[in-house]
Amino acid sequence: MKFMKIGTKPDTFYTQDASRILITDTPNDLVVRINNTTYHLHRSSLVPKCGLLPRLFTDSEESDSVTIELNDIPGGSDAFELCAKFCYGITINLSAHNLVNVLCASTFLRMSDSSGFSVKENEAALERHRRVVNTVVNMIPADKGSVSEGFLLRLVSIASYVGASLTTKTELIRKAGLQLDEATLDDLLLRSHSSSHHRRYDTDLVATVLESFLMLWRRQSSAHLSSNNSQLVHSIRKVAKLIDSYLQAVAQDVHMSVSKFVSLAETVPDIARESHDRLYKAINIYLKVHPEISKEEKKQLCRSLDCQKLSAEVRAHAVKNERMPLRTVVQALFFDQESSSKGASSRLESQELFSRGKETSTDMHKLHLGQAETASIGKAKNILEGAKRGEEKIRSSTDPKKIVRKETRSEHKHHISRDR
């Protein structure tokens, strides 16, 4: 495999326990932790070339040693180490295997063009990688599920970053959209490579793939294929749950804008969400992380939330949630009371049914019925008495003693009437 060599100094990094240390006469004054790996480095070598680092320890510049964590860096510790070696002038080899991860990591670290590690100065390497991406895309079988959804989404991300052709990106997005219902939340949590904003995740990519999925879903739904109908409903509801979980994750990003969040939330059709509990949780997380947003933005945020589709527990939470806009709280309260009212009405109707059944059974007792009729009435009586026992468990507001007294008076009147 072809590769590009950068740097001239020998590699003097060595491993000690879970640490990577550089052999040098100068004491280290910068500790970088990436998941389970710790690097002992020097500010004088990394800070001039990595614009992100000064932002992370501005308040600690005068201390002897500074410790920072870069768990979110694209490519992980391997990509960071190559960037660090570049800063020291140590020889590194870039190939189709590691190029994208290194370039993503360098962008994350805000490595300046003057460092010599910019995309422009490595255009030849990028061109080589574009050819690799195109080759991989052409090798993917046309059958759905031939490769995992996670692989396809990562390939879409890489293709966008290296500037693959429009044809290549369109085909990848189509393939990824075709099986979006097979994706996991981790598959969607792709890092943003854009230098124009500071968002942690690439929500634009997810939105594009979601649109592709919905376009195909609508086309299949309009065909009215009864044999596939239940599968189509299951598919879109599965995607809706996935997107709402994704919204909960991206809501924690302080740089996530209201407009991006709302756009993604509203892309999901109404029919896809059986419940709005997950969407409510995502909105609540966003409001908690972004307390500074305006009242108008809060209204926009809750625009797609249907309080009628909230569970009783979540609706009760919404009624007391001070973060929510007043309109949403009022709607939640209205549907909560409506639900309670329907429950009370249902219990009263059941009690009335039992009362009428009791009176009817008293009248029937006076008639001379055959064995079959008596058995049928006895069965109905058992059902009614079972209903009464169920109602007594939920303790309706109506006093059972009053019902008994009413029934006794009714029976007494019937006896008098019959005697006359």
Where are the strands (E) in 113-190, listed by range? none
Which residue, among 184, 7, 22, 34, has the nearest Cα to 108 in the 3D structure? 34
* Enclosing H/E stretch for 38: strand 37-41
Q: Which of 391, 414, 393 is nearest to 403 (CA)?
A: 391
What confidence score (pLDDT) does residue 285 get? 97
> What does the CA dihedral 337, 343, 345, 351 come to, rounded to 10 degrees?
-150
The whole-number average pLDDT for the span 268-294 is 96
Distance between CA atoms of residues 92 and 11, nearest Å: 9
Q: Could you state, in order of their start, the residue ranges of all structural domains in the chain?
A: 3-118, 142-337, 354-419
Read off the pLDDT of each residue in 228-251 and give the average, rounded to a whole number.
93
Q: Evaluate whether 64 touches 29 at the Cβ level (below 8 Å).
A: yes
For the whole prediction, is pTM greater than 0.75? no
Give the residue with greater pLDDT, 163 vs 399: 163
Residue 38: phi, psi to the nearest 5? -120, 130
Q: Which two tokens stand for residue 311?
A: 């569970």
Task: Please give the Cα distance from 153 to 188 (Å, whole number).
Answer: 7
pLDDT band at 57 (very low <50, low <70, confident <90, very high): confident
Residue 196 is given by DSSP the state: S
Reference 183, options 214, 162, 158, 152; nearest CA is: 152
Average the pLDDT over 219-240 and give the result: 82
332-364 confidence digits (pLDDT tens):
999 888 777 665 555 555 555 445 544 544 444
What average pLDDT does this structure show over 246-266? 95
Q: What integer pLDDT is reported at residue 366 of this predicted model? A: 46
Least confident of 115-129, 168-182, 208-222, 297-311: 115-129
CATH architecture of 3-118: 2-Layer Sandwich (3.30)
Biggest CA–CA distance in the chain, Å, is: 121
Which region among 105-114, 192-201, 223-232, 339-348 has the lowest average model confidence (pLDDT)?
Answer: 339-348
- The larger pLDDT score, comparing residue 348 to residue 148, is at 148
